[in-house]
Chains A and B, each alone.
Chain A
Amino acid sequence: MRVNFVLSEVATGLRRNLTMTVAMILTTAISLGLMGTGLLIAGMISDMKEIYYDKVQVSIFLADDVTGDQRSAIESQLADSPEVASYLYESKEEAYERFRQQFSQQPELVDNTPRDALPESFRVELVNPERYEVIAAAFPNGENGVDQVRDEGDFLDRLFSLLNGARNATIAVAVVQALAALLLISNTIQLAAFNRRNETNIMRLVGASRWYTQLPFILEAALAGLIGAMLAVGGLVLTKVLFVDKTLAGPIKAGIIPPVDWSAIVTIAPVIAGAGVGLAAVAAYVTLRLYVRL
Chain B
Amino acid sequence: MRPGADRPSCGPGQVPWPLVIELQHVTKLYPASPRPALDDVSTEIDKGEFVFLIGSSGSGKSTFLRLLLKEDDPTRGTVTVNGKTLNGMSKWQVPKLRRTMGCVFQDFRLLRNRTVAENVAFALEVINKPHRTIKRVVPEVLEMVGLDGKANRLPHELSGGEQQRVAIARAFVNRPLVLLADEPTGNLDPETSEGIMLLLERINRTGTTVIMATHDYHIVDSMRRRVIELNGGQITRDQSRGVYGVGR
Contact = CB atoms under 8 A, between A and B. Distances in A.
Interface of A: 1-2, 5, 198-199, 201-210, 212-213
Contact of A203 (B102, B126, B174): B126
B97 A207 contact: yes
A206 B99 contact: yes
B69 A205 contact: yes
In this complex, the member of A205, A209, A213 whose beta carbon has the largest number of chain B beta carbons within 10 angstroms is: A205
Contacts of A1: 128
B143 to A, nearest CB: 20
Contact of A202 (B96, B97, B122): B122
Given A1-B128, A5-B125, A209 B95 contact: yes
Main secondary structure of the interface of A (DSSP, over half): helix
Given A2-B128, A207-B97, A209-B95, A199 B111 contact: yes
A207 B111 CA distance: 17
B70 to A, nearest CB: 11
- 8 pairs of A and B residues whose beta carbons are closest in the complex: A207-B99, A207-B98, A208-B126, A207-B95, A206-B123, A203-B126, A205-B103, A209-B95
In this complex, the member of A198, A201, A207, A212 whose beta carbon has the largest number of chain B beta carbons within 10 angstroms is: A207
Given A1-B128, A199-B111, A202-B109, A207 B96 contact: yes
Nearest to A204: B98
A128 to B, nearest CB: 63
B128 to A, nearest CB: 6
Contacts of A198: 109, 111-112
A282 B90 CA distance: 23
Interface in B87-112: 91-92, 94-103, 109, 111-112
A5 B114 CA distance: 13
B227 to A, nearest CB: 25
Contacts, number: 52
Contact of A212 (B109, B111, B128): B128
In this complex, the member of B95, B102, B111 whose beta carbon has the largest number of chain A beta carbons within 10 angstroms is: B95
A165 to B, nearest CB: 49
B127 interface: yes
A206 B122 CA distance: 9
A5 B122 CA distance: 10
Nearest to A200: B126
B127 A207 contact: yes
B111 A208 contact: no
Given A198-B109, A199-B111, A206 B174 contact: yes
A205 B109 CA distance: 11
A217 B131 CA distance: 23
A199 B123 CA distance: 10
Contacts of A212: 126-128
Contact of B95 (A201, A202, A208): A208
Nearest to B102: A206
25 contacts: A2-B128, A5-B126, A198-B109, A198-B112, A199-B122, A202-B111, A202-B123, A202-B126, A203-B126, A205-B69, A205-B98, A205-B103, A206-B102, A206-B126, A206-B170, A207-B94, A207-B95, A207-B96, A207-B97, A207-B98, A207-B99, A207-B101, A208-B95, A210-B92, A213-B126
A212 B122 CA distance: 12
Contacts of B125: 2, 5
B109 A201 contact: yes
B22 to A, nearest CB: 21
B126 to A, nearest CB: 4
A210 B98 contact: no
A202 B102 CA distance: 10
A210 B126 contact: no
A5 to B, nearest CB: 5
A206 to B, nearest CB: 4
Nearest to B113: A12
Contacts of B96: 207
A199 B122 CA distance: 9
A208 B127 contact: yes
